Amino acid sequence: MDLGAITKYSALHAKPSGLVLQYGTAGFRTKAEHLDHVMFRMGLLAALRSKQTKSTVGVMVTASHNPEEDNGVKLVDPLGEMLAPSWEEHATCLANAEEQDMQRVLIDISEKEAVNLQQDAFVVVGRDTRPSSEKLSQSVMDGVTVLGGQFHDYGLLTTPQLHYMVYCRNTGGRYGKATLEGYYQKLSKAFVELIKQASCSGDEYRSLKVDCANGIGALKLREMEHYFSQGLSVQLFNDGSKGKLNHLCGADFVKSHQKPPQGMEIKSNERCCSFDGDADRIVYYYHDADGHFHLIDGDKIATLISSFLKELLMEIGENLNIGVVQTAYANGSSTRYLEEVMKVPVYCTKTGVKHLHHKAQEFDIGVYFEANGHGTALFSTAVEMKIKQSEQLEEKKRKAAKMLENIIDLFNQAAGDAISDMLVIEAILALKGLTVQQWDALYTDLPNRQLKVQVADRRVISTTNAERQAVTPPGLQEAINDLVKKYKLSRAFVRPSGTEDVVRVYAEADSQESADHLAHEVSLAVFQLAGGIGERPQPVSCLY
Ligand code: NG1
Ligand code: ZN
């Protein structure tokens, strides 16, 4: 490690004094102008992690669904997964170190993690379409270079595409080719083969409107569409040619406001979907004949996918298991439907895809989705073995095994991926002959409301039981319990956000009015018991 060079270059990416950031569920995220030093340092850290694991590591520059002025950075571990927990701590230490402490912190990390500094390092870098992203990704590469590492700059990529590249490079090409062409071909081939098996792929299955949040998803979907156009035609909206990134559009807007994005003309019963700003989330929706808006969120996506996969598993008749992983934000109706009607076991983890991903790996088929539309399905080697052995099986079973094989190729195994999920969903709808209304009708969502409360220090709230119960501050959980009792079919919980300086409140109940009241009352309890700052929480009717 050339400490002199590190000090010299670090000064060119100096840390604004006093700024303290935390590596949270989505890496570092804040206003773009505060991030230059973080990017340089994450380049250093990625090089160390690559040396330690003797593998390619990824760095993605994006702030996903946050406003255009923000940016962020996330490290991608060798199998496409989120950074290991001990390295998240190193990331926080390194990002917050004052200039004069940088050398010591780097040496500390190298010693603690037994990094062989002589080892080569290779880092791949991707970025979204934010105006600040190009320069910030350059700072990442500066960091990698100063530590003597090599890099490949993929330039503009969706977040899941970067995960895919990392995964491909560390599995000796067995998973796929680590190029955009490789990604497009792998997914499209699987999709087109699946669609061919649909007996009822009439016109109504052939077209889909996609709101791209004015982000990277638009560019990449446009590059990809001709690869799968024989199976599906997509019409892109909010493609970045006019509007602002994530402004009044995108999956996060649609899910949290429970209304359609601006800039998209929706006729009744047309199937539509929205990506978020870095294309790792997707939600579907439509307008019914009466003009009512229907949201089909990550929970209903998980239901569609897991019921289809369960049918395929039953077809090939093996005792392979399937499980669905959700978070506390999953709609109560979805959990009930999965457990009681579909008889699929459901597990709840903490918020943040790394927790869901980890749990899903315990099953032969693990389907995980956050309600906000971030998720995928993972498959064990036992499933792949079964498919390989299917040559000897009877015709019907062989067909199911073939479908499963294509589905596995179509799902991004490295991360939740809006493009990949969209193609899986489109294929399943066509194969099952389901309209968007029939899909929506699987169960009815319980009305719900999500709110944010500002507090002086959100760490005063700690939780247990996969974030469904507050442990501290004292009295808060009791207050929530009392409020919940006042409503029917109700549930509420609070947790500190991992990506924003707020406490999130979630409530659901038998009517929208009740869910709104309950969410407001719980917000007031948080404000009073957890050190609220600023204005007291307003009733929901004043906010929307
Ligand atoms: P936080 O801010 O911790 O609630 C949000 C989402 C997560 C996840 C991360 C990363 C909700 C309620 N929370 O986390 O699900 O997607 O951002 O982007 O949607
Ligand atoms: Zn995202």
- 380 and 482 co-located in one domain: no
User: What is the band of 205 on the pLDDT scale with cuts at 50, 70, 90?
Assistant: low
- Answer yes or no: is 542 within a domain: no
Predicted confidence (pLDDT) per residue in 133-163, tens digit: 999 999 999 999 999 999 999 999 999 999 9
- 296 and 436 co-located in one domain: yes
- 418 and 295 co-located in one domain: yes
Report the separation in Å between the CA atom of 63 and the middle of ligand 2, taken as the mean of its atom positions.
7
**In this predicted structure, which of 41-45, 168-172, 383-387 has the lowest mean pLDDT?**
383-387
User: What is the band of 203 on the pLDDT scale with cuts at 50, 70, 90?
Assistant: low
- 437 and 464 co-located in one domain: no
Q: Tell whether residue 233 is among the known ligand binding residues.
A: no
- 190 and 292 co-located in one domain: yes
Residue whose CA is at the smallest distance from ligand 1 atom 11: 372
Residue whose CA is at the smallest distance from ligand 1 atom 5: 499
352 CA closest ligand 1 atom index:
8
- 276 and 375 co-located in one domain: yes
- 356 and 235 co-located in one domain: yes
CA distances from 63 to 164, 215, 332, 450 (A): 19, 11, 29, 21
Predicted confidence (pLDDT) per residue in 303-319, tens digit: 999 999 999 999 887 78
Name the average pLDDT for the chain: 95
Whether 158 lines ligand 1, by a CB cut-off of 6 Å, is no
- 296 and 338 co-located in one domain: yes
Residues 6 or more apart whose Cβ sits within 8 Å of residue 232 = 191, 195, 205, 206, 207, 208, 423, 426
Q: Which 3 state secondary structure label does DSSP give 514?
A: helix
Residues 6 or more apart whose Cβ sits within 8 Å of residue 422 = 208, 210, 273, 282
- 424 and 465 co-located in one domain: no
- 412 and 484 co-located in one domain: no
- Which token pair is 344? 């699929």
CATH number, position 460? 3.30.310.50
Angstrom distance (rounded) from CA 526 to CA 519 = 10
- 349 and 467 co-located in one domain: no
Predicted confidence (pLDDT) per residue in 487-544, tens digit: 999 999 999 998 888 999 999 999 999 999 999 999 999 999 999 999 999 999 887 6
- Answer yes or no: is 251 within a domain: yes
Query: Catalytic residue among 10, 50, 64, 137, which?
Result: 64
Q: Tell whether residue 336 is among the known ligand binding residues.
A: no
Angstrom distance (rounded) from CA 228 to CA 424 = 12
Q: How many domains would you assign to the chain?
A: 3
- Answer yes or no: is 539 within a domain: no
64 is known as an active-site residue: yes
- 134 and 282 co-located in one domain: no
- Answer yes or no: is 352 within a domain: yes
Residue whose CA is at the smallest distance from ligand 1 atom 17: 499
Q: Cβ distance 499 to 473 under 8 Å?
A: no
Q: Which helix (H) or strand (E) holds 76?
A: strand 70-76
- CA nearest neighbour of 23 among 3, 38, 4, 5: 38
What pLDDT is attached to residue 202? Answer: 61
Domain residue limits at 306:
177-445
- Answer yes or no: is 161 within a domain: no
User: What is the band of 200 on the pLDDT scale with cuts at 50, 70, 90?
Assistant: low
CATH number, position 57? 3.40.120.10
- Answer yes or no: is 492 within a domain: yes
